[in-house]
Amino acid sequence: MDAHIELILPAQTEYLYLVRLHVGAVASRIDMTLEVVEDLHLAAEELCMSLLSLSHNVPDRLAVGIAWDADAIEISCRLGGTQDHDGQSWTNEGFPELISERILDALVDEHSLDVDGHPPTAWLRKRRERPLPSA
């Protein structure tokens, strides 16, 4: 990927508007259609909410990375922050929940979750319908 930004925000759903804002800005900048931008808003929020549901304890931070190039946009998120995660417990029971998986399947080209690492991470990728011309 050519460019990348990372947001670190409180791991609370009321801050996910910041993720939608940045995802929309990047998708618009790389000339994705309005329909794709709206799909990415929904997909990024679903990805983050699904990841937040994995923690039995409340993590303090959510890190969201947005990377893009002429061909695609990728969004990744991980739980973490300033807390000591040695005592943190994660579960992948039911994730992605059927509804989350179906939503992501409908909105993006690829998505995945890795619960083997601590903290777990999730990502999605949406390819452009028409790649941008090389500069």
SS3 assignment, position 81: coil
Predicted local confidence at residue 120, as pLDDT: 77
Residue 90 lies in a domain: no
Residue 83 banded pLDDT, cuts 50, 70, 90: very low
Task: Tell whether the model's pLDDT for residue 44 goes beyond 90.
Answer: yes
Most confident of 33-42, 90-99, 123-132: 33-42
Q: What is the pLDDT of residue 84?
A: 44
What's the pTM? Answer: 0.81
Show the domain range for 42: 3-80+98-127
Q: Is 129 exposed, middle or buried (0-12, 13-18, 19+ CB in 10 A)?
A: exposed
Residue 11 sits in a domain whose CATH number is: 3.30.565.10
92 in a structural domain: no
